Structure 1
Amino acid sequence: MTDTATGTLVLAGTPIGDISDAPPRLAAELAEADIIAAEDTRRLRHLTQSLDVQPRGRVVSYFEGNETARTPDLVEALEGGARVLLVTDAGMPSVSDPGYRLVAAAVERDIRVTAVPGPSAVLTALALSGLPVDRFCFEGFLPRKQGERLARLREAAGERRTLVYFEAPHRLDASLAAMAEVFGRERRAAVCRELTKTYEEVKRGGLGALAAWAAEGVRGEITVVVEGAPEPEPVEDPAELARRVRVREEAGERRKEAIAAVAAEAGLPKRQVFDAVVAAKRPEAR
């Protein structure tokens, strides 16, 4: 299956739970690839055994820790005509998984890149959430540290599209609590756990209620879907804008972050909110 000129990089989706969800082409690609770059070679072995496939090509590990170092070798193989198959532990490569560096390097060298479409936790959770799916954005994993997590969420406070996040089970309660603090306790969300597996569960509700539920402990692979921000209510009164900033500052936000959040909520330029804050501090405004 080796190409005569430059080779081909194939990104292959793998099941996110139920092995029977494997796309039909996956078995053929696993059997015929010259090189299989796998996030976890042990999981790859389980996958090939489950699909009753015996790979003929060389298997190499390709994960976050060696992605940068291994990419040049794989590109060299591709330039030599090899068909390289990239698989991750679950879902599509590059989506919060290894793959982006290799794809970018291949594209830069005009090497053909194609895909075997497969299951996606992002799209599956979005479809099951019951929240709007016409416009959405994927935010990946939130930062581990609370301050950085809150800052990231504040950046998305005014986002009107549905938001999709990945999260580790041991950090889920902290992340949901942070979302409730920034987005509001009543903002609708869905926690999708163990998708397509035996103990699949979709928990829907307000962020405050979901945070309380998660505090008891949650296991499994987690995808969180959050409703986008509501349409802003028109705010023309500078005093009201300044008051909203002051409330956020008193809650611990830095002024710059508070101004950005209020501007996003009100659908106004940050400069307009900043001017309102400055005006409120003038003696004549008191």
Structure 2
Amino acid sequence: MGKLYIVSTPIGNLGDISKRMIETLTEVDLVLCEDTRRTGKLLHELQIPKKDFLSFTDYNEKAKTPFVIEMLNSGKNIALLSDGGTPLISDPGYYLIKQAILNNIPLDIIPGPSAVVSAVVLSGLPSDRILFWGFLPKKPGNKREVFKQYRLLTEVTPITIVFYESPFRIRESITLLDDQFPNCTLVILRELTKLHQEILRGYPKEILYQLSSNPKGEITAVLRLNIDPKSH
């Protein structure tokens, strides 16, 4: 029986590659990835011999998982990658991991970069309790509901929330935050670890003034409400 490796890859800076990641990708028989061209370029940069790739995305994960399980059962070692960061964290892989466990297939992880952890550390906000929301809903009404639920949770215990947002919707989301929580502390981290990394801190209205009218790149937001929890 083969082994399934969950492999973290850089979120923007190739200098964050680990020796263990290179060793694992060199040795496996098959690489599952979201974008085969992007992953092929990464392996070329690392001078790793050419590999067999299988496109593995949110849209085809369930359909392709039986084939992957069959390959693992036949003795093939397989690596699961995302386009950047750690697989499964707002990326494909959950269904595959669940099925691998049900089939008693050995798992291993090659830990590494994560936008969530990096954002929390750089934010300067309390990190003792963190709620990671993933990507916010696209519709404004659903976003308001998320923020409302966060407010209710914060009234019970102080907690920092982390979420991803599209550069095309980030200004809308910050405007909603300004409407609901004008005095909250917000940190916007754009293009983490890349050449044009940008970190903006302040109240939502202040961030709107600082942020480009047409931001580009991947955005992670860290938020903390400045309210006291209810006493018990």
- The TM tier, using the shorter chain, reads over 0.9
CA distance in 1, matches of 2:119, 2:62: 30
SS where residue 96 of structure 2 aligns?
Answer: helix
Identity percentage of aligned residues: 35
CA distance in 2, matches of 1:233, 1:140: 27
TM-score computed with the length of structure 2 as normaliser: 0.93
Deviations 1:133-191 (A, max 9, x none): 11111100011111111112211113321100011101100111122223x11100100
Q: Matches of residues 102-251 of structure 1 in structure 2 within 5 Å?
A: 102-158=96-152, 159=154, 160-182=158-180, 184-214=181-211, 216-228=213-225, 230-232=227-229
Which shows bigger deviation, 64-73 or 122-131? 64-73
SS where residue 210 of structure 1 aligns?
Answer: helix
CA distance in 2, matches of 1:233, 1:211: 30
Unpaired runs of 5+ residues, structure 1, are 1-5, 235-266, 268-286
Counterpart of 1:261 in structure 2 is none
Deviations 1:32-76 (A, max 9, x none): 111110110011111011111114x42111012211111111111
Counterpart of 1:88 in structure 2 is 82
Displacement of 1:215 in angstroms is: 6.6
CA distance in 1, matches of 2:189, 2:128: 19
TM-score computed with the length of structure 1 as normaliser: 0.76
Note if contact 2:190-2:199 (Cα within 8 Å) is conserved in structure 1.
yes
Structure 1's consecutive aligned runs of 4 or more residues displaced over 6 angstroms after TM superposition are none
Structure holding more helix per residue = 1
Displacement of 1:208 in angstroms is: 2.5
Q: Number of matched residues?
A: 228
Unpaired runs of 5+ residues, structure 2, are none
Which structure is larger by alpha-carbon Rg, 1 or 2? 1
Quick check: 1:25 aligned with 2:13? no
Aligned-CA RMSD value: 1.6
Amino acid aligned to 2:166:
A
Amino acid aligned to 2:175:
A
Note if contact 1:39-1:89 (Cα within 8 Å) is conserved in structure 2.
yes
CA distance in 1, matches of 2:110, 2:146: 33
